[in-house]
Amino acid sequence: MKISLGRISLICMIVATTLIVAGCTGSSNTADLHSGSSAPADAPASSPQDEPVTVTFVWEKLTDEEKEAWNESYIEPFQRKYPHIHIDFQSVPEARDVVKVQLVSGQGPDLFIMANPADLKEYADAGLVADLDPYVKKYGWDTIMFSWALDATKVNGTTYAVPHGYEALLLYYNQDIMDRNGWQAPQNGEQWEEILKQAQAQDLIPIAYGAADPAYYEWIIGYYLNNFAGAAEIKKALQGHAKLTDPFFQGAFETMKQHWEAGYISDKQTAALSSDDSRSLFYQGKALFTFEGSWLAGEVDNIPFNFGVGSFPSLREGVPSTVPIGIGASIAINKSSKSADAAAEFLNFIYTEEQRIAESVGAGLQPLSRTVDAALFPDTMNPKAVNILNILQNTVKDPAHVGYTPWTFFPGKTDQYLYDNLNSVFYGKISVSEYLQGAQEILDQDLKDGFRFILP
Amino acid sequence: MKSALSNLSRHVVLGMLAIVQIAPIAVMVINSLRSDTEIKAGLIGWPSAPVWDNYAAAWVKGQYGSAFVNSILIGILVSLLVVACNAMASYAMTKLNIYGHHFFTAYFISALAIPSFAIMVPLYFVFQKLGLVNTHAGIVIILAALNIPFTLLFLRAFFLGIPKELEEAAKIDGCSEFRAFTSILLPLAKPIVSTVILIVFVATWNEFLFSNTFLQSDALRTVSLRFYHFQGKYSSNLAYIFTAGCMTLAPIAALFLGLQRSFIDGMMQGGLKG
Amino acid sequence: MKKLRSTLFVLPSFALHFFIVTLPACTLFYYSFTDWNGLGRPVFNALDNWTRMLKDASFHQAIGNTLVWMLLFLTVPLLLGLFVALLLTQTKRSQMAYRTIFFMPYVVPAVIAGKLFLVFYNPFLGIAQWFDRIGLHALGGISFIGNEKLALYAVAFVDNWHWWGFVMVLMLAALHQVDATLHEAAILDGAGRIRRFASVTIPQIMPTIMTLIMFTIIGSFLTFDYVWIMTQGGPAGATEIAATYIYKQSFLKLETGYASSLSLAIGLSCVAVYLALRVLQKRGVEV
């Protein structure tokens, strides 16, 4: 067979690549090692007699910076203290699906992320996650973690997961643009609409908000429901004492729809914008407001202008300006795990030592669901980030202004219905009443299936 | 004169199509030399200062070293397995007298309708019992099986198109089926076999779903999975993503160029004369 | 004996596929009659899933979109691929370059191509900016993904960009098979270009065309990647196709039993279509 030039070059390329790669493969492993963190060295808490144990821990996809932060803040300090417990930490894309397949096959990691709080009930009912009440008692987690956060990870009164970060939905605005125009942060519905209209008149995007993935609609639903219907009404509806079809909820969505029609919300382009995109727009100064949460604290270095952050304005007389709060992800232990005790030890470790948690927040990780003395935040941390976190902490202490994020407090199917079908409302395919009727049907079913509102 | 005009118009049409096809890729290549903030400020633009470091950084962060070895290994094994099985099968189905050839055709066409996520859980369950999870052997078997129906049907279509005269010529020479297969038909089939190798290699190179689920250790994971090192929950580093895209694309482009020759060879042999 | 030995040639492909794909897929039959969340125990619910399917308007919309998608892909890539392949057979110089360029998009992973085009389509940061800058304000105002009338076509454009180069390569391989002597004979008979194309070329490459058609019809029901990456079936179901709908039911809504019945219904329909085509074949067209 005639050997052609193309074939030779192809072979050369493969050989060259293999050689380069063989040379690099060795170094790729060292990329994971980091210099030690600034935390004080803990004396190892295990003795040489302890059996070596491996705990596999699967998290969702992380950027390399985030993964480094995890290693420095949680994994390595833990390994130093408990050398006999090896934490195999993996960040897996599509973690939810992959872990599900493994669990159903009787395998699966010892510890894994539960990114959707709504999933917890299904996993608990299927007997896939371990009962954590013994550990709650053993380590006194109910004294460390926020009680509402711990309640959010209970199913039928039993704890099946440990809440991880907690968060709040806040309103961010471009302070420079506000100052330039002499605008003030809106305090009520009229001011809100007024400032949005003026922003639009100046060719700004009034609110940068991306919901290409409809799940992000949970944010806008959180803002409007809590600030129009009010937290008290939401609680009533979720306890079955009021209906989602009641006027206050209608009003919330009607107002939302009006704002959509007026083009205030991303110029009606939410379906074409990812959360990445909306941030880009905000950072480039093309938008006045953006819907984001307290998690933006990790991004403040990327914001090139003065920005303001505060609570979404009250949209109805008598409803205080409310900040929806909730928990982010939670962590569960595999029921068939052989290293459950070691895994629980790790969970406990993450939650203790305020100093280390404060530093982890400084590294960009989410604040855990417990109080942390603000004085412990590292000096190197951007004061704007500290400010956001302080707002978060203070809100939680202020029940009058606390609201409910859909992903934490609403039953899973209802939440899903609400965000899945919001586009149909915006695009005029169904009316607000039809939308809410459908939601109420799902809520009725959820209540019948045993959903109980977290707070008493 | 007429041929010059038709030549020109042909090139104009081809040229315009080429621009549409290549423009996005060109943007990706150019963007791999820009910084993330620059790209987010304006998608299409020239790098203000070429960031050559993107490639080195993405290579290390994404651990592309081991990924390339894995992807190449798996790609080669899967392609060879598929071609070996399918070449035999399609030849038999079209040129030989076999039992149930209508059945097999119907089977493989219907096989196209099976959604891959339907088989995920039972397959994982069985493979786990067999110890094939988190092994290269396991993923090679799965990907080969998944690539069989599609490529088999194209090989079959190709063999159906081979003129009868060729087979008669082989039979007159007194060849057994296998001899006829290897010395006359296989060389003729070079264009389509190269195509099949290319298709399967590319499909395996870019495959995500099964690779992500069945390959768990970092040391075994492939190129298509590394892309996610640059994507977090809320934000992504576009510069690295585009760089990753270029790195993913380059070897396949090389493969395509390498296999191009066999298309030309096939062309030269062409059909029968006289 | 010889016949049996020849049949064994098919065995490796068949066995490999059967045990890895078909057998596990048979579980679809079982689960389609259950209410199952994919995690715990399936609960038998007879024909509930099937009656639900008949009333499920969102599913019908998804099927409708899938048929539109199918029509788009039965025409554009096939015609484009064939047309360009024909042009290329007449182009000696730079044929390699063109072929490589046309084929390149096929090699770009869907995730990256999807992301790339999403940025292109971005109403504020993408192509629209560029249109505005060069004065085509009307085009600059179009939102490709945000507009529910355009979204499906916008996504189809990307998948087509990725796919038609491959079709072209297959057509090229098929065209090279065409016996040159038949063409010469036709020219001697005085047949013009178009006549030759219709009666010599097309019949010769028919098997490839028919395979592509078959694959497109069935593939339309399974196509997932581009739609999912770019729009996830939105906005408001405008780009919801069969596979994304089934995926959502199975993985997001944890209605795996229902999703199984949907998959099964679609799979069986495809097989039915194929069998119908076979019957047609008995009366003419070579498949």
User: Residue A423 pLDDT more than 90?
Assistant: yes
Residue B106 tokens, joined = 């119907």
Flag if A272 and C254 touch (Cβ within 8 Å): no
Question: Quick one: tokens of C100?
Answer: 């490589």
Lowest-confidence segment of A15-24, B182-191, C241-250 by average pLDDT: A15-24
Q: Which tokens belong to A35?
A: 């210099």
Report CB contact under 8 Å: A103, C39.
yes
pLDDT at A240: 92
Task: Determine, yes or no, domain membership for C40.
Answer: no
Average per-residue pLDDT for chain C: 88
CATH fold for the domain made of B49-269: MetI-like fold (1.10.3720)
What are the DSSP calls for B25-84, one per residue?
Answer: HHHHHHHTTS-HHHHHH-SS---SS--THHHHHHHHHTTHHHHHHHHHHHHHHHHHHHHH
Indicate whether B10 pLDDT > 90: no
Yes or no, beta carbons of B40 and A60 under 8 Å apart: no
With the C-alpha atoms ordered A259, A400, A295, A91, is the resulting torsion angle positive or negative?
A: negative
Within a domain: C29: no
User: Which pLDDT value is given to residue A40?
Assistant: 43
Residues of C in contact with B149 (CB under 8 A): 17
Alpha carbons C54 and B240: distance in angstroms, whole number: 46
Question: Does the pLDDT value for residue B174 go beyond 70?
Answer: no
- Would you kindly state where each structural domain of chain A is located, as residue ranges? 53-163+329-365, 167-327+386-448
Q: Do B232 and A66 touch (CB under 8 A)?
A: yes
pLDDT band at A159 (very low <50, low <70, confident <90, very high): very high
Whether the CB of A68 is below 8 Å from some CB of chain B: the reply is no
Whole-angstrom distance, CA of residue A212 vs CA of residue A215: 8
The second-level CATH assignment, the architecture, of A167-327+386-448 is 3-Layer(aba) Sandwich (3.40)
Residue pLDDT, tens place only, C166-177: 899 888 888 877
Instruction: Report CB contact under 8 Å: A13, B225.
Output: no
Task: Encode pLDDT of A362-383 as tens digits.
Answer: 888 889 999 888 888 888 888 8
Alpha-carbon distance C119 to nearest alpha carbon in chain B (angstroms): 7
Question: Quick one: pLDDT at residue C92?
Answer: 77
Rounded Cα distance between B247 and B62, Å, is 11
Identify the residue with better confidence: C73 or C283. Answer: C73
C86 to chain B: closest CA residue: B10
Of B96, B150, B206, the CB nearest to C9: B96
A31:B60 CB<8 A: yes
At C150, is the pLDDT very low, low, confident or very high (cuts 50, 70, 90)?
very high
Question: A53-163+329-365 has which CATH code?
Answer: 3.40.190.10
Q: Is A353 on the interface with C (CB under 8 A)?
A: no
The pLDDT value recorded for residue A435 is 96
Q: Look at residues A237, A232, A268, A230 and name the one whose alpha carbon lies nearest to residue A252.
A: A230
Which subunits sit against B, judged by 3+ Cβ pairs under 8 A? A, C
Q: Is residue C52 part of a domain?
A: no
What residues pair up with A86 in beta bridges, in sequence order?
A: A54
Rounded Cα distance between C82 and C69, Å, is: 19
How distant, in Å, are the alpha carbons of A63, A317, A321, B109, B225 from that of A313? 34, 11, 5, 59, 43
Average pLDDT along chain B: 84
- pLDDT tens digits, residue range B117-159? 889 989 999 999 999 999 999 999 999 999 999 999 988 888 8
Closest CA to B188 of B98, B101, B92, B87: B87
Which three-class secondary structure state does DSSP give residue C196? Answer: helix
Label residue B175 by pLDDT band (50, 70, 90): low
Does C13 fall in a domain? no
Q: Is it true that A53-163+329-365 and A167-327+386-448 share their CATH fold? A: yes
Mean pLDDT for the stretch of residues A52-78: 91
pLDDT for C261 equals 94
Can you give the pLDDT at residue B85?
94
Facing residue for B69 by CB, picked from A18, A64, A107 = A18
CATH, residue C136: 1.10.3720.10
Contact assessment for residue B97 and residue C6, using Cβ atoms and an 8 Å cutoff: yes
E strand or H helix at C180:
helix C180-188
Domain tally, chain C: 1
- Residue B258 and residue A6: Cβ atoms within 8 Å? yes
Identify the chains in contact with A, defined as 3+ C-beta pairs within 8 A.
Answer: B, C
Residue A277 and residue A305: Cα distance in Å, rounded?
A: 18
How high is the ipTM of this complex?
0.86
Give the pLDDT of residue A27. 34
Domain that holds residue C246: 63-282
pLDDT at B165 over 90: no
Please state, in angstroms and rounded to a whole number, the distance separating the CA atoms of residues A75 and A89.
8
Confidence at residue A373, expressed as pLDDT on a 0 to 100 scale: 85
- pLDDT at B181 (0 to 100): 64
Strand ranges, E, within chain C: 34-35, 43-44
Per residue in C227-262, pLDDT (tens digit) is 999 998 888 899 999 999 999 999 888 899 999 999
Which of A426-430, B194-198, C123-127 shows the lowest mean pLDDT across its residues?
C123-127
Which residues in A lie closer than 8 A to residue B60 (C-beta atoms)? Answer: 27-28, 31
Instruction: Give the closest of C25, C91, C102 to B114, CB-based.
Output: C25
pLDDT number for residue B167: 66
Q: Which residue has the higher pLDDT, A47 or B256?
A: B256
pLDDT in tens, B74-106: 999 999 999 999 988 998 898 888 888 889 998
Q: Is the confidence at residue A8, as pLDDT, over 70? A: no
| Contact flag C146-A277 (C-beta cutoff 8 Å) | no
Q: Tell whether C38 lies on the interface with A, counting CB pairs under 8 A.
A: yes
Residue numbers of A between 403 and 432 with CB closer than 8 Å to C: 413, 416, 423-424, 426-427, 429
| Residue A49 pLDDT | 57
φ, ψ for residue A308, nearest 5 deg:
-110, 155
Confidence of residue A115 (pLDDT cuts 50, 70, 90): confident
**Interface touch C21/B91, C-beta < 8 Å:** no
Residue C132 lies in a domain: yes
- Chain C residues inside the 8 Å CB shell of A127: 40
pLDDT at B274: 27
| pTM confidence score | 0.88
Mean pLDDT of A198-220: 94
Would you say residue A12 has pLDDT above 60?
A: no
**Residues of C in Cβ contact (< 8 Å) with A426:** 235-236
Contacts of B63 in chain A (CB under 8 A): 28, 31
Residue B234 is predicted with a pLDDT of 67
pLDDT of B266 strictly over 70: no
Residue B30: is its pLDDT beyond 50?
A: yes
A216 reaches B (C-beta below 8 A) = no
Burial profile C44-62: b = 16 or more Cβ within 10 angstroms, e = fewer: eeeeebbeebeebebbebb
Per CB-CB distance under 8 Å, the chain A contacts of C235 are 271, 423, 426-427
Alpha helices in A158-246 (DSSP H): 175-181, 189-201, 217-224, 231-238
pLDDT of residue A1: 37
Express each pLDDT in A216-245 by its tens digit. 999 999 999 999 999 999 999 999 999 999
The residue extents of the domains of chain B are 49-269
A61 touches chain C (CB under 8 A): no
- Closest partner residue to B111 (CB to CB) among C2, C21, C247 is C21
B119/C25 touch (CB, cutoff 8 Å), yes or no: yes
Top residue of A105, A110, A219, A303 to mutate, by most chain B CBs within 10 Å, is: A105
Residue C14 confidence (pLDDT) above 70 = yes
Whether the per-residue pLDDT at B239 is higher than 50: the answer is yes
Q: Are A329 and A408 in contact (CB under 8 A)?
A: no
Put simply, the answer to whether A269 touches C124 (Cβ < 8 Å) is yes
Q: Which of A423, A431, A434, A449 to mutate to test the interface with C (most CBs of C within 10 A)?
A: A423
- Put simply, the answer to whether B141 touches C20 (Cβ < 8 Å) is yes
pLDDT at B272: 34
Report CB contact under 8 Å: B107, C14: yes
User: Dihedral through CA C256, CA C259, CA C263, CA C268, nearest 10?
Assistant: 100
- Within a domain: C192: yes
Q: How many CA atoms lie within 13 A of A136 on its CB side?
A: 23
Instruction: Find the residue in C nearest to B112 (Cα).
Output: C218
pLDDT tens-place string over residues C269-280:
988 888 888 888
The residue-averaged pLDDT of A391-414 equals 92
- Say whether residue A102 is in contact with chain B using an 8 A CB cutoff: yes
Chain C residues within 8 A of B22 when measuring between CB atoms: 101, 104
- A-chain CB neighbours of C144 within 8 Å are 272
Does C50 have pLDDT greater than 50?
A: yes
Looking at chain A, the whole-number percentage of residues with pLDDT higher than 90 is 68
pLDDT-derived band at A415, boundaries 50, 70, 90: very high
**Which residue has better confidence, C203 or A433?**
A433
Average pLDDT over residues B28-49: 82
What's residue A28's pLDDT? 35
- Least Cα distance to B251 among B224, B219, B217 occurs for B224
Note whether A262 and A349 are within 8 A (CB): no
Contact C146 A416 (CB under 8 A): no
Q: What pLDDT, on a 0 to 100 scale, did the predictor assign at position A17?
A: 45
Q: Which residue of A has its CA nearest to C40?
A: A126
